[in-house]
Structure 1
Amino acid sequence: MGTLEPLSNLCSLTTLELQDCGEDLECQGLQSLLTTGGQLNKLEIMGSPRFFADWDPNPKRALEDAEGGEEQQTQLVSSTLRELMTDDIAGVLAAPVCRFLSSSLTKLQLLRNWCGGMERFSKEQEDALQLLSSLQELKFWNFKDLQQLPAGLRNLTSLKILSVNCCPPILSLPNDALPDSLEKLYVRYNCTQELKQQCRGWREPSLKS
């Protein structure tokens, strides 16, 4: 199965978990599960590193009008997805995807499964993450080379829970601080003492590390 097209008619599906389906699996067919009568609200996609690659749920198209051709945005569609777990970091943290998920997604878990080579988030990925205006819970798992958390977390004004797990190189919280909405900050499992110590002074007694 190279796409999700064979599943696209399962309009009552609410949860979908895909594990180790390989790099050839792409998300075509997913949109029909998230819009136009679909009910999918929880998705876990692991082991398909190009699942979201180049996906634009709201593409632009050329529309002719009385004054000539002009590129305009088609009618925007929104998503039903509330929870997402994925290790396709590059694919999901793209502006078209995050814009599509912005009004629905409340929980995002990003995992690397100890794959190396990612020391920091790109500016484009940081900007895309900030589009998730409904996000209430954000988790980072198993980033063995990540040097710092993404900048701009302060702009996630609905965020209530932030978790950092098994990210040993990270020494501190972002320089631009955390959102005022944050209620719980968890730092667990193979994180540095420097980070844990900084977090203990963040907002006691609500902090649990």
Structure 2
Amino acid sequence: MGTLEPLSNLSSLISLELQGCGEDLKCQGLWSLLITGGHLKELIVLGSPSFFADWDPNPRRALEDAEGGEEQQTQLVSSTLWELMTGDIAGLLAAPVCRFLSSSFTKLTLVGDSCEGMVRFSKEQEDALQLLSSLQELVFLDFKDLQQLPAGLCNVTSLKMLSVHYCPDVSSLPNDAFLGSLEKLRVCNCSKELKDKCRGLVGTIPDIWIF
């Protein structure tokens, strides 16, 4: 199965988990599960590192832009998805995808096991992440080489919980402006520097868990 087209008519599907389906699996067919009429709330995609690559969920907007039309004249569709876990960082963190997900999206888990050599997020990826205006919980998991979290997190004002697990080279959090909105902070199997800085936030963030 190279796409999700065989599943596209499962309009009552609420949760979908795809693991180890390989590099060739693409998200075509997912759109109909996520718009009005579909009910997909939870999606896990692991082991398909190009799943979201080059996906534009609102192709009409792209077409009108190319033809010189005005974007506000196009009614953009929005997603039903609440939660997503994925290892396709590059494909997901693109403006068209994040804009599509933004209205309903509350929890995102980014899995970095296929991101060897990635030390930071690009400016484009940080900007796309900021489009997730409903995001409340964000998890960074298993980024072996990542040295810093996206600085733009301070602009995700809806965020209530941040978790950083198995990211040994991350030594700090984004700037202090970001910390004011957090209610929960989870740090697991990370560097001593990061753990020490998080301990210094006790009393600033209501619920901190470090181990």
TM-score (norm 2): 0.91
The 3-state SS of whatever aligns with 1:125 is: helix
- Measure the CA separation in 2 of the matches of 1:35 and 1:143: 31
- Measure the CA separation in 2 of the matches of 1:185 and 1:31: 33
Counterpart in the other structure of 1:66: none
More strand as a share of residues: 1
Counterpart in the other structure of 2:207: 206
Aligned length: 203
Q: Does 1:75 align with 2:57?
A: no
Q: Is the 8 A contact 1:98 1:129 kept in 2?
A: yes
Letter of the 2:198 partner, please give it: C
- Measure the CA separation in 2 of the matches of 1:6 and 1:71: 34
Gaps of 5+ in 2: none
Counterpart in the other structure of 2:90: 90
State the shift of 1:114 in Å. 6.2
- Measure the CA separation in 2 of the matches of 1:141 and 1:177: 23
State the shift of 1:179 in Å. 4.5
Counterpart in the other structure of 2:123: 123
Question: Once superposed, what is the RMSD of the aligned Cα atoms?
Answer: 1.6
Q: 1:196 to 1:72 in 2, by over 3 A?
A: same
Greater displacement, 11-20 / 179-188: 179-188
The 3-state SS of whatever aligns with 2:28 is: coil
Residue by residue over 1:32-87, the C-alpha shift from the partner in whole angstroms, topping out at 9 and shown as x without a partner, is 00013000000000011110001011122249xxxxx6334432000000000000
- Measure the CA separation in 2 of the matches of 1:114 and 1:80: 27
State the shift of 1:152 in Å. 1.1
- Measure the CA separation in 2 of the matches of 1:161 and 1:128: 19
TM-score (norm 1): 0.92
- Measure the CA separation in 1 of the matches of 2:126 and 2:90: 11
The sequence identity of aligned pairs, in percent, is: 69
Q: Is the 8 A contact 1:153 1:177 kept in 2?
A: no
Q: 1:114 to 1:4 in 2, by over 3 A?
A: closer
The runs of 4+ residues in structure 1 deviating greater than 6 Å are none
